[in-house]
Amino acid sequence: MQRSWETIIGLEVHAQLATKAKVWCGCSTEFGAPPNTQTCPVCLGLPGALPVLNAQVVDFAIKAGLALGCRVNEKSVFARKNYFYPDLPKGYQISQYDLPLCEWGTIEIGTGDEMRAVRVRRIHIEEDAAKNLHGVGEGVSVIDYNRGGTPLIEIVSEPDLRSSAEAMEYFKSLRSILIYLGINDGNMEEGSLRCDANVSVRPRGETDLRTRAELKNLNSFKFLKDAIDYEAARQASAYEHGEAVVQETRLWDSAKGETRSLRTKEEANDYRYFPDPDLLPLEVPEARVAKVRETLPELPRAKAKRYAQEKGVAAADAVIIAGDPAFAAYFERCLEAYRDGKRLGKWFVGELARVLNEKVTSLATLKFSPADLAALLKLVDAGTISNSAAKDVFAEMVETGEEPRKIVERKGLAQVSDASAVEAAVDQVLAANPSEVEKYRAGKKNVIGFFVGQVMRAMKGRGNPGVVNDVLRRKLEG
C-alpha cells in the first residue's frame, strides 16, 4: 500500500556563520570555551544594551545567496520573533521575516538525466540561541550563553523534495557549498549546521499539499533520512487507517527510531513578529553585492561539470570529488601527475574515500604524495601489477607512506607477464587435468575460467591475466 504515497519534503537549514565575532556584539564565537566566558551586556540581553550588526555577517549571507543564485534584496528588515525561553535572553530572537536578505535560488541535486534544481525560497540572517543544559543537579538547569548571538543563516527550500534520499542529497549539496564558501564549517555534531524537515505525504497523482509535520533534531544525514522515512510511513499509515494528520512539530528520537509530537499548531507560539526598532533596515547596494561576487570560489557543481567535461571523470564520481573542497584540491594535484581523470576519479571515489572514511583520517595527514598515487596507477596501467594487487599496495602506502614501486618489489607483487614463465605453469595445469582439456576441446569453451583460476593459483596470483589467457587459448586450441 505504501507505494501509492508520495512524500513531499521541504528543508530548513540553519548554518552558523564562521565569523570571529557574534552578530550583534564583539564577543567571540569560538566553540568550546568555558561556559559564559564569551558574553557581554548585548548578548546577555541586559537592560539598555543595543544590537549593532556585524558587517561580515551580511557579506557571508550575501555570499550564500549568490552561490545559490538568489536575488539579494537591496532592502531587508530585521524583525523580532517574540517568545519566552531561558536560552533567549531578550525574550525575542532578532531574525528576518517578511523582507529577508536573499530570495529565490536553487540547489542542484542528481546528475545527468536525473539532475533537478530544488528551489530555495529564502535565506535570512538571524541569531542563535544560548544552550540550556538540563539535569546538572536535581531539578536544576543551567544556561551557557556563549552560543547566544552567534550569527546564523536560515536557508529555506520549497517543498520540492520527493524522497529522503533527495532530501539527504540536497542537504549534502548545500553543506558542500557552504564549506566551499568558507562561511560554515559543516560540523553537524557541534551543531554549527542543523536541519529541520517539513514532511507531508499525499496519494501519488494528487496535486494539493496535505498537512505537514515539522521534524526537529535531525543532526546527522542518517537521522534526516531515517526521520523522514519514519514520518512518511507514519502519515501514510494514519491516512490508510482513516486518521487525520495534524500540523505539529515532532522531535526525532534516534534512540527509539521514531518521531514524537513536541507541540501542535494550537500550542504553537504567536511570535508577534514586528520590525526591530533598534535596527535600521539593512540596505545592500548593488556595489556591495558585486564586491562579494568577486570573492566567490568555483562552486562544487561547476567544478564537477568541469571534471566531467574536461577531465573525463564519470559524472557521479565528479560530483562526489567536487563535493569536498579538500578532496577536490587533492584530486587536482593528482591530476597533474596522472592524466586519466576517469580512472583517477574511480580510484578516489573507491579506494581513497574508503580509506579516509575507515581510518577517520584527513588528506592532510596522508603519508604518501599525489605523485606516489599517480605512480601506483601507472604500475597498473603498465601491467606491472594487477588491480587487486594495487589495492594491497595502496593499503601499505596508507600505513607506511612507502613508495609503491618499493612495496611491489618488497612484497614481490609484480605480475609475471613473461610468456615462458606462464607457459610452464599452463603446461603443468593442462597435464594435471586431462579430462577438462577434453571437455574444452569438445566445445565446452567456458572451462577456460577453470584453467585461468588454476594457473593463477599456481602462480600465486601474480600471473598477468591477459598473458595467462593468451597462452591458455594457444595451447588448448593448438
Partner 1 sequence: MSIETELLAGTIEGAAAALAGGATTSAKLTQAALERVAAVDPKLHAFLTIDEAGARGQAQASDARRAAGQSLGVLDGIPIALKDIFCTKGLATTCASKILEGWVPPYDATAWAKLEGAGAVNLGKLNMDEFAMGSSNENSAFGPVRNPWDLTRAPGGSSGGSAAAVSARLAFGALGTDTGGSIRQPAALTGLVGLKPTYGRVSRYGVIAFASSLDQVGPLARTVRDAAILLRAIAGHDPADSTSIPAPVPDYLADLEAGAKGLKLGVPREYFVEGVDPEVERAVRAAIEVYRSLGAQIREVSLPHTEFATATYYLVAPAEASSNLARYDGVRFGYRSPRAKGLLDMYRKTRAEGFGDEVKRRIMLGTYALSAGYYDAYYLRAQRVRTLIQRDFEAVFREVDALVTPTSPTAAFRLGEKIDDPLQMYLADVFTIPASLAGLPGMSLPCGFTASGLPIGMQLLGRVLDEAMLLRLARAYERETPWHARAPAV
Residue 82 engages partner 1 in binding (rule: CB under 8 A): yes
Is 28 exposed, middle or buried (CB count within 10 Å of its CB: 0-12, 13-18, 19+)? Answer: middle
Tell which one of 84, 136, 387, 431 touches partner 1 (CB under 8 A): 84
Is 75 exposed, middle or buried (CB count within 10 Å of its CB: 0-12, 13-18, 19+)? Answer: exposed
Residue 80 engages partner 1 in binding (rule: CB under 8 A): yes
- x/- mask, partner 1, residues 24-53, rule CB under 8 A, reads -----------------x--xxxxxxxxxx
**Which has the closest alpha carbon to 154: 99, 189, 94, 195?**
195
DSSP tag of 348: I
Minimum distance from CB of 204 to partner 1 (Å)? 35
For partner 1, the binding residues in 248-277 under the rule CB under 8 A are 270, 272-274, 277
**With contact defined as beta carbons under 8 Å apart, do 473 and 440 qualify?**
no
For partner 1, the binding residues in 336-375 under the rule CB under 8 A are none
Minimum distance from CB of 145 to partner 1 (Å)? 8
Minimum distance from CB of 82 to partner 1 (Å)? 5
Number of residues this chain uses to bind partner 1 (CB under 8 A): 28
Tell which one of 4, 37, 75, 91 touches partner 1 (CB under 8 A): 91
Is 452 exposed, middle or buried (CB count within 10 Å of its CB: 0-12, 13-18, 19+)? Answer: middle
The CA distance from 106 to 211, in Å, is: 24
Residue 382 engages partner 1 in binding (rule: CB under 8 A): no
The backbone torsions φ and ψ at residue 385, rounded to the nearest 5 degrees and listed phi first, read -130, 160
Radius of gyration (Cα) for the chain, nearest Å? 29
Tell which one of 92, 97, 331, 338 touches partner 1 (CB under 8 A): 92
The CA distance from 117 to 84, in Å, is: 38
Minimum distance from CB of 142 to partner 1 (Å)? 11
Nearer to partner 1, 214 or 231 (CB): 214
For partner 1, the binding residues in 274-303 under the rule CB under 8 A are 274, 277-280
Minimum distance from CB of 35 to partner 1 (Å)? 13
The CA distance from 277 to 281, in Å, is: 9
The CA distance from 454 to 449, in Å, is: 9
Q: Are strands 102-109 and 116-127 parallel, antiparallel or unpaired?
A: antiparallel
Nearer to partner 1, 12 or 278 (CB): 278
Nearer to partner 1, 253 or 278 (CB): 278
Is 35 exposed, middle or buried (CB count within 10 Å of its CB: 0-12, 13-18, 19+)? Answer: middle
What strands, in cross-sheet order, belong to the sheet with 5-16? Answer: 71-72, 102-109, 116-127, 151-157, 5-16, 193-203, 213-216, 248-253, 258-264
Nearer to partner 1, 270 or 294 (CB): 270
Residue corresponding to grid cell 604518501: 368
Nearer to partner 1, 239 or 273 (CB): 273
Nearer to partner 1, 41 or 453 (CB): 41
The CA distance from 352 to 349, in Å, is: 6
Q: Which span (67-75, 81-89, 176-184, 470-478) binds partner 1, by CB under 8 A?
A: 81-89
* CA torsion angle 304 309 313 317 (round to 10): 30
Nearer to partner 1, 21 or 44 (CB): 44
Q: How many CB atoms lie within 10 A of CB 55?
A: 10
Q: Are strands 248-253 and 213-216 parallel, antiparallel or unpaired?
A: parallel
Nearer to partner 1, 89 or 370 (CB): 89
Residue 325 engages partner 1 in binding (rule: CB under 8 A): no
Minimum distance from CB of 200 to partner 1 (Å)? 22
Residue corresponding to grid cell 494528520: 245
Tell which one of 33, 86, 203, 263 touches partner 1 (CB under 8 A): 86
- x/- mask, partner 1, residues 412-451, rule CB under 8 A, reads ----------------------------------------
Nearer to partner 1, 50 or 290 (CB): 50
For partner 1, the binding residues in 116-175 under the rule CB under 8 A are 143
Residue corresponding to grid cell 580512472: 343
Position 389: which residue type?
Answer: A
The CA distance from 203 to 232, in Å, is: 12
Nearer to partner 1, 272 or 339 (CB): 272
Q: Which span (85-93, 221-229, 336-344, 423-431) binds partner 1, by CB under 8 A?
A: 85-93
Minimum distance from CB of 224 to partner 1 (Å)? 30
Please, what sign has the CA dihedral across residues 39, 40, 43, 44?
positive
Minimum distance from CB of 98 to partner 1 (Å)? 11
Minimum distance from CB of 356 to partner 1 (Å)? 45
Position 125: which residue type?
Answer: I
Nearer to partner 1, 6 or 278 (CB): 278
Minimum distance from CB of 192 to partner 1 (Å)? 25
Given the rule CB under 8 A, which residues bind partner 1?
41, 44-53, 80, 82, 84, 86, 89-92, 143, 270, 272-274, 277-280
